[in-house]
Amino acid sequence: MDIKVIANSYSVVSQYLAELRDISIQKDPLRFRENLQRLGEFFAFEISKTLSYEDQQVTTPLGVAEVSVLAQQPVLATILRAGLPLHQGLLRIFDKAENCFISAYRKYDENGGFDIEFEYMSSPSLDNKVVILSDPMLASGMSMEIGYHALFSKGTPSHIHLVSVISSQQGVDYVREKITSPNVTLWIGAVDPEMTPKSYIVPGLGDAGDLAYGPKIDSKKKVKI
């Protein structure tokens, strides 16, 4: 697996990451979502450099231009719900892409531990396609692993790009151990050194889903309909 950490070199991405982490700026959900979308656009641009292209002729008002265009559109996949803003940024660049949505969540036990529960997946065929699977936080790495393996229920992709804004070092190590295919590239904004006992990244930025869309109800409570 090839691993690329964007923050290892200077770029405006560092500004977006700083704003995502800043507890005062986080009070504005619109700004938080927008920064995730901007990062999605940046990741899409970097990934686009690795894709295949073909030559075409385009007629302009003054003649014919030789241009290069994508030989095949990627499929954009994400893990609900925190992945949606990042996914939207990728979709702004790959605006003709097909889309895949994976429903998975942390199911906690009475001792505070958790497993990742996979519920549902909506996807086109993935046979021989490039897939970009995004999830903003790579904490334990279990969600990304579940999402990765779920893709193969819809076909065998030619290459899979995993995209995460912030990862723990433990998450990187876990994904590297569990996903050994050479046809996988892991793209990360920044890698943080620690996790809490509840698998939140430190310093991280908190709960990306809550910051983007508001706090969710305790899953242990029953909802009256």
Tell me the whole-structure pTM to 2 decimals: 0.90
Query: Is residue 139 included in any domain, yes or no?
Result: yes
Boundaries of domain holding 116: 2-51+71-198
| CATH number for position 105 | 3.40.50.2020
Query: Is residue 44 included in any domain, yes or no?
Result: yes
Query: Is residue 221 included in any domain, yes or no?
Result: no
Residues contacting 34, CB < 8 A, separation 6+: 85
Helices 169-178 and 142-151, axial angle in degrees (round to 10):
30
Query: Is residue 61 included in any domain, yes or no?
Result: no
Contact 155, 131 (CB under 8 A): no
Query: Is residue 31 included in any domain, yes or no?
Result: yes
What is the tally of structural domains in the chain? 1
Query: Is residue 225 included in any domain, yes or no?
Result: no
pLDDT for 122 equals 92
Query: Is residue 213 included in any domain, yes or no?
Result: no
pLDDT for 205 equals 94
Query: Is residue 112 included in any domain, yes or no?
Result: yes
pLDDT (tens, 9 = 90+) of the chain, 225 residues, equals 899 999 899 999 999 999 999 999 999 999 999 999 999 999 999 999 999 999 999 999 999 999 999 999 999 999 988 889 999 999 999 999 999 999 876 665 566 555 666 678 899 999 999 999 999 999 999 889 999 999 999 999 999 999 999 999 999 999 999 999 999 999 999 999 999 988 889 999 999 989 999 887 765 544 344
Among 195, 205, 122, 224, CA closest to 166: 205
Among 146, 142, 198, 201, CA closest to 169: 201
For the beta carbon of residue 67, count every other beta carbon within 10 angstroms: 11
Cα dihedral 184→115→211→167 (10° resolution): -40
